[in-house]
A and B are shown apart, each in its own frame.
Chain A
Amino acid sequence: MSAMTGNNAPLEAQMKKALEVEGRSLWQDARARLFRNKAAVASMVLLGIIVFLAVFGPMFWVHDYDTVYKDRVALPPSWENWHFLGTDVQGRDLFVRLLMGLRVSLAVGLVATTVSLVIGVLWGATAGYIGGRLDEVMMRIVDVLYAMPFIFFVIILMVIFRDATAGKPALNILLIFVAIGAVEWLTMARIVRGQTITLKGREFIEAAEAAGVRPLKIVVRHIVPNVLGPVVVYVTLTIPAVILAESFLSFIGLGVQEPLTSLGKLINDGAKNMETMPWTLFVPGITMMVTLFCFNFIGDGLRDAIDPKDR
């Protein structure tokens, strides 16, 4: 943004020019920049493949995720019978279970993160920008929710509604979205608020205020794009955090229910047998890492692409 370059041209003229920038061209530029980033593009392709496999793979693979082959329990990876990632302790094909786990984990990660992103950014930017009493009240609410230990929140939410969702896998997963999403937006709100307070003192915001731009518009147009850098990075941290939070629920026995699975649950099961059946840990573990690497590079690419300071 030109106001940030610090040259001597009249500030008002600079501001006017800046406000003329239309959202469309802004995002078109960003897209062009994003596609010039090789790591990000490669990650997008890879993540696309992963998502495609997770969504459609289980429908077309030779095995079903819940078929138990009694004579093929705990087989190491081999090409025999197409168990090329081996089987689990029940005698189920690990490849198709991995795809199922990816599907569930990606869903939990994306939905819960999106929820937390939307609430967190708007909440934090509004509180930080408007300040005063409203900031006080809004952040007090965040403080109150924050001061509830995550585990407490999730465990209580899970046990209250668990009986109602027992045996209904879709509802059960929805419950996990809600429980985790209800907690994750808080950090986002705090970070955005902190950034906003710093931004508020900056010249271009003061200029926009002087130009009579409405507060809501300032928040959406100027604050939000300017805090996106740290936010995008935080998102790439939140998706793993959400996926890990779900795996923690699996660890204490409140996660996704059998025969469904998730990456976290697969890893948790694998960790228990890491010495005797190492493939049950490595297969989901490496998958999780690759997936998160993709999110990471995409996140970095996105940040570079939409960073307003480079415009």
Chain B
Amino acid sequence: MFGYLVRRFLVAIPTLFVIITLAFFMMRAAPGSPFDLERPMPAAIKERIEASFHLDKPIYVQYGYYLKGLVRGDLGPSMKYKDKDVADLIREGLPVSATIGGSAMLLALIFGGILGSIAAIRQNSGVDYAVMGFSTTGISIPTFVTGPILALVFGVYLHWLPSGGLDRGRMTFTHLLLPVLTLALPQIAIIARLTRASMIEVLRSNFIRTAHAKGLSERTVLFGHAMRAAVLPLVSYAGPATAALLTGTLVVEQIFALPGIGRQFTIGALQRDYTVVMGVVILYAALIIAFNLLADILYGLLDPKVRYK
């Protein structure tokens, strides 16, 4: 197991390197540059600004500079935010995105898991149809519809919760509830469906029948055996999904005016803020790798048939 971890860790480094390289060149393949503005600046100034970011050099030299900075732990300055470094922007935005994303995922795992299991156990009952109906509805409504509706109803009409923003930069439960719900709804729906499907699969399989035959109680069979096997596909899904949620989502951050990195990142990509985009890609990639590793370890713990070589 320990050897497996070390090996996965060693593999992660070249993986990250490939990702950085791929992202770097893809980003540069996009037309335009961060300094193509609506109002042009004098050519001499533009050249100077580009030179200060090494944009005047051949692309492989720029790549070299970027890697050199990375090795020193320097993500570079933002090309758009003149007073800020990429590290500053991530430091400010990540806690907000991660709190919202993490809470949403937690909520989704709890509720999705419970709903899915109930639906599976009571397959084809009224409860099952209700859960699946809710789930399909949850998946088919985009967050840019649920977000404004929640904000309007609870913020504007009822005045129960803030319709957006933070409390002077502080995250409070009230300020995060609506964005977390908006983000969690489709995840609850997806997880409920995945849980139900794999649970049904497991309940039909012969090792559960065996367990029943052995005279184990319903409870032990469900929680001791069925659940354990049923969460496997869930683990595959939840690992990367969590990483994606932690790094923020444009829609929720925009609709609720939250200072996360998801919006920063999308706007960065649209405006070619190369360094900001690269910074978030690296962060995202590192999280994904970590969560995938976690998912695989969980897989091993839950399923004794998986062997770590």
Contact = CB atoms under 8 A, between A and B. Distances in A.
A268 B144 contact: yes
> Size band of the B side of the interface?
35 or more
A285 B247 CA distance: 28
Interface stretch (B14-22, B39-47, B91-99): B14-22
Interface residues of A, number: 61
Interface stretch (B80-88, B102-110, B199-207): B199-207
B201 A230 contact: yes
Interface string A118-148: 0000000000000010001000100110111
A309 B190 CA distance: 24
Contact of A148 (B11, B19, B232): B19
Interface in A237-294: 237, 240-241, 244, 247-248, 251-252, 264, 267-268, 271, 274-275, 281, 285, 288-289, 291-293
Interface string B285-309: 1001100100000010001011001
Interface stretch (B26-34, B70-78, B160-168, B177-185): B26-34
B139 A274 contact: no
Contact of B193 (A163, A237, A267, A271): A237
Contacts of A148: 19, 22-23, 281, 284-285
A159 B31 contact: yes
B25 to A, nearest CB: 10
A296 B233 contact: no
Nearest to A253: B270
Nearest to B299: A194
A236 B247 CA distance: 26
Nearest to A135: B309
B260 interface: no
Contacts of B197: 229-230, 233, 303
Contact of B145 (A151, A195, A201, A267): A267
B63 interface: no
Contacts of B221: none
Contacts of A268: 142, 144
Nearest to A293: B136
Contacts of A292: 136, 139-140
B205 A143 contact: no
B277 interface: yes
Contact of B251 (A149, A234, A248): A248
B269 A152 contact: yes
Contacts of A275: 152
A151 B240 contact: no
B19 A252 contact: no
Contacts of A132: 309
Nearest to B307: A201
B256 interface: no
Interface in A25-81: none
A8 interface: no
Contacts, number: 168
A125 to B, nearest CB: 14
Contacts of B280: 149
Contact of B204 (A144, A187, A309): A309
A155 interface: yes
A136 B309 CA distance: 11
A155 B270 contact: yes
Given A187-B240, A271-B145, A151 B303 contact: no
A271 B145 CA distance: 6
A152 B23 contact: yes
B305 A201 contact: yes
Contacts of A300: 132
B38 to A, nearest CB: 16
Contacts of B144: 247-248, 251, 267-268, 271
Contacts of B140: 240, 288-289, 291-293
Contacts of A90: none
A147 B265 contact: no
A271 B265 CA distance: 24
Contacts of A195: 232-233
A151 B264 CA distance: 12
A152 B277 CA distance: 8
Nearest to A264: B142
A236 B196 CA distance: 14
30 contacts: A4-B205, A6-B206, A147-B16, A149-B244, A149-B247, A149-B280, A151-B269, A152-B23, A156-B29, A160-B26, A163-B31, A190-B240, A195-B232, A197-B306, A198-B232, A230-B198, A230-B201, A230-B233, A233-B194, A241-B139, A244-B142, A247-B144, A251-B250, A251-B251, A264-B142, A267-B144, A274-B148, A275-B152, A285-B141, A309-B204
3 nearest interchain CB pairs? A201-B305, A147-B285, A292-B140
